[in-house]
């Protein structure tokens, strides 16, 4: 039996922010491909991005590619909310749509033998497939499903595909986390609605929270997690509709917006 004093010492060590963590895949990158912003746009947006992903595979980049859920998930959420279904059910519905998008992207990369992994396979198959094929695709929705935390307002799951991809990046200790959207990066408001919104090139988590922006290009929980993360100390948001921008981000260029811890 562990004595109380000894147990307290163990807890202190476990929660010590200075404790080092072992980075499992420091040479890999997590890329989140937006569902509504990229995949829902069809071939005009997806095929150039797929070609760019293949070029980076040829250059030896190791890519862990997560997919968003997009418009179909929003339709499912709307119907489920109208029916009064709980948040856990909505989370399961969103995971199903993200899986569909992962399969679509996986088939487009099939000529490279890129596998599509379920969340449960990330711990067992990801390292092997990444070493063998150079990339994997997975649905970005975190597998909380019925265990999803209740949101402060409404029923929509607070942790969706942006969050799921970030958690994968943090857990495996990758080289970087890139969000591929249909906007140039972070703005002071939604530029699709407010064309005069100010572009934000670089900002840290504390500054971003103080701004209390009405609209964010990434899910708010990502900002919270980034502030507490040990392995991922910045995320980059780029425009996947601009050819070459993903390659530039993978090369370390400061394209798009960078949010730092």
- The string of pLDDT tens digits covering residues 160-189 is 999 999 999 999 999 999 999 999 999 999
pTM: 0.91
Structural domains of the chain sorted by starting position, each given as residue range(s) with its CATH number in brackets: 23-179+241-254 (3.40.1160.10)
Q: How confident is the model at residue 19 (pLDDT cuts 50, 70, 90)?
A: confident
Q: Lowest mean pLDDT of 17-21, 71-75, 193-197, 208-212, name the range.
A: 17-21
Closest CA to 218 of 164, 163, 172: 163
pLDDT value at position 7?
A: 44
- For the segment 137-157, what is each residue's pLDDT rounded down to a tens digit? 999 999 999 999 999 899 999
Query: What is the distance between the terminal CA atoms of the chain, rounded to a whole angstrom?
Result: 40
Res. 86: pLDDT tops 70: yes
Q: Is it the case that residue 15 has pLDDT exceeding 80?
A: no
pLDDT surpasses 60 at 16 = no
Rounded to an integer, the average pLDDT of 214-221 is: 94
HEC letters along the chain: CCCHHHHHHHHHHHCCCCCCCCCCCCCEEEEEECCCCCHHHCHHHHHHHHHHHHHHHHCCCEEEEEECCCHHHHHHHHHHHHHCCCHHHHHHHHHHHHHHHHHHHHHHCHHHCCCECCHHHCCCCHHHHHHHHCEEEEECCCCCHHHCCCCCCCCCCCCCHHHHHHHHHHHHCCCEEEEEECCCCEECCCCCCCCCCCEECEEEHHHHHHHCCCCCCCCHHHHHHHHHCCCCCEEEEEECCCCCHHHHHHCCCCCCEEEEC
Tens-place pLDDT, residues 22-32 = 899 999 999 99
Average pLDDT on 199-228 reads: 95
Supply the pLDDT for residue 21: 83
């Amino acid at each position: 039996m562990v004595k109380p004093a000894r147990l307290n010492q163990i807890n202190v060590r476990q929660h010590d922010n200075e404790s080092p963590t072992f980075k499992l895949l420091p040479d890999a990158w997590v890329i989140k491909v937006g569902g509504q912003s990229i995949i829902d746009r069809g071939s005009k947006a997806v095929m150039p991005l797929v070609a760019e992903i293949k070029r980076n595979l040829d250059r030896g980049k190791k890519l862990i590619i997560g997919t968003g859920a997009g418009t179909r998930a929003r339709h499912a959420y709307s119907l489920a909310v109208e029916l009064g279904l709980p948040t856990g059910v909505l989370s399961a519905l969103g995971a199903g749509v993200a899986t569909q998008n992962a399969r679509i992207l996986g088939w487009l990369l099939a000529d490279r033998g890129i596998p599509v992994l379920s969340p449960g396979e990330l711990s067992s198959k990801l390292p092997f497939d990444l070493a063998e094929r150079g990339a994997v695709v997975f649905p970005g929705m975190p597998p909380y499903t019925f265990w999803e935390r209740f949101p402060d307002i409404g029923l929509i799951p607070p942790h969706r595909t942006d969050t799921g991809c970030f958690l994968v990046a943090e857990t495996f200790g990758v080289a970087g986390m890139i969000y591929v959207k249909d906007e140039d990066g972070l703005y002071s408001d939604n530029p699709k609605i407010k064309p005069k919104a100010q572009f934000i090139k670089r900002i840290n988590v504390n500054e971003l929270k103080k701004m209390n922006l009405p609209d964010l290009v990434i899910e708010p929980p990502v900002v919270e997690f980034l502030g507490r993360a040990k392995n991922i100390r910045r995320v980059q948001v780029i425009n996947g509709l601009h050819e070459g921008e993903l390659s530039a981000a993978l090369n370390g260029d400061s394209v798009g917006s960078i949010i730092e811890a």
